[in-house]
Amino acid sequence: MNTFIKTLGVTAFTVGLMAGSTVTAYAADYTIRATANSNENDEDYDGLVVFKNFVEAASNGEIAVELFIGTQLCSKGAECLQGVADGSIDVYISTSGGAAGAFPYVQVLDLPYLMASDRVAENVLSGDFTRTMRDMALKDSADKIRLMTIGNTGGWRNFANTKRRVQNPNDMAGLKIRTVVADLPQELVKALGASPTPIPWPELFTSFQTGVVEGSKNGITDIMGMKFPDAGLKYVTLDGHAYMGALWWMNNEKFLSMPIELRQVVVDGFAALQQATFASPKRKSIKAYEDFVAGGGDLYVPTPAEKAAFKKAATPVYEWFQTNVNGGPAIFNALTSAVSKAETAIAAGNAKDLN
């Protein structure tokens, strides 16, 4: 495991109790300091508000939750995870890309076309797959960093570009697609015949304007929130190649320091948080899609045959992941097995519900 980067400075801004919490008047026995590098319009914030209210109320005030939204406690994945490891931060939410330096196998969530729907993804992430990833992360962090749950942060990643409608992998040829620095998304873009171009997120708007990049792989709420159509982004293909997983980490020592009944409250709080983050992107994406189309955007839904062509073209990435990523085979097998079980269970339920 890579050495975590030490956190250099911490400033504090404590968010007060949210409306609806019912807590006792005496001081809490435990305080959970939770941070998200986002803003109050984000799904991560929605989840934290639900978590705070649930935990404080269900613990009768024995646990207080302080929220730090933005970059007050840390600004980058490695720095924030180091804060969790050393206990200066109790709870932190990362994307798979943000945690890949420490736990490279979390990039399994970025493997394309493995989970076909929200129902499948939510079933998988609520079960033993997440516990398998938790065990791996605990081992690799010397029992310091505990994965509590995996929620969602933005819906599904889709391909979007400034040049043309993309209906099949052939239409991707030659497009300069923005990626993060991580290897896996670059391998995916190359497998589909496009050119991966790592660009920092804050520079993406200008990069669209100047033609440094011609496309990206984002959720619609990010596209509209960053006003990318104003920079020329016109075409979105709903290929749904990756579920935008949100990994919620907690300092393991803080968690285990609580009596078991309060640990149960925290676990239940993360379950409530997970459900909130599952729901939030669904609601927010409705208006985002409407606004995209109303502004002249081209929204394309691939046919089943076209979707199958995308998956076939991306297949080499599965082998690359298992060959090149530490822990890749184990976590890949855990995910594909969980997906198979989820699809079977959903199909069985459908058979009962449709007749």
Q: Which residues contact 154 (CB under 8 A, 6 or more apart)?
A: 43, 218, 219, 221, 222, 244, 281
pLDDT of 149 strictly over 90: yes
pLDDT tens for each residue of 227-275:
999 999 999 999 999 999 999 999 999 999 999 999 999 999 999 999 9
Does the pLDDT value for residue 26 go beyond 70? no
pLDDT level of residue 10 (50, 70, 90 thresholds): very low
Does the predicted TM-score (pTM) go above 0.85?
A: yes
Give the whole-number percent of the chain exceeding pLDDT 70.
93
Give the tens place of pLDDT for each residue, 289-346.
999 999 999 999 999 999 999 999 999 999 999 999 999 999 999 999 999 999 999 9
**Alpha helices (runs of H) in 126-203, residue ranges in sequence order:** 128-140, 183-191
Mean pLDDT, residues 124-140:
98
Summarised one tens digit per residue, pLDDT across range 264-289 is: 999 999 999 999 999 999 999 999 99
CA-to-CA separations, 307 to 176, 241, 275, 282, 312, in angstroms, rounded: 21, 9, 28, 21, 9
User: Tokens representing 73?
Assistant: 């406690």
Q: How confident is the model at residue 182 (pLDDT cuts 50, 70, 90)?
A: confident
pLDDT for position 117: 96
Give residue 202's pLDDT. Answer: 84
* CA nearest to 207, candidates 189, 182, 233: 233
Mean residue pLDDT of the chain comes to 92
Residue 47 or 77, more confident: 47
Predicted confidence band of residue 34 (pLDDT cuts 50, 70, 90): very high
Q: Minimal CA–CA distance to 289: which of 225, 338, 245, 342?
A: 225
Phi, psi dihedrals of residue 41, rounded to the nearest 5°? -95, 0
Q: Return the pLDDT at 8.
A: 29
Is 220 in contact with 288 (CB distance < 8 Å)?
yes
* First and final C-alpha spacing in the chain: 51
What is the distance between the alpha carbons of residues 246 and 248, in angstroms, rounded to a whole number? 6
Residue 18 has pLDDT above 60, yes or no: no
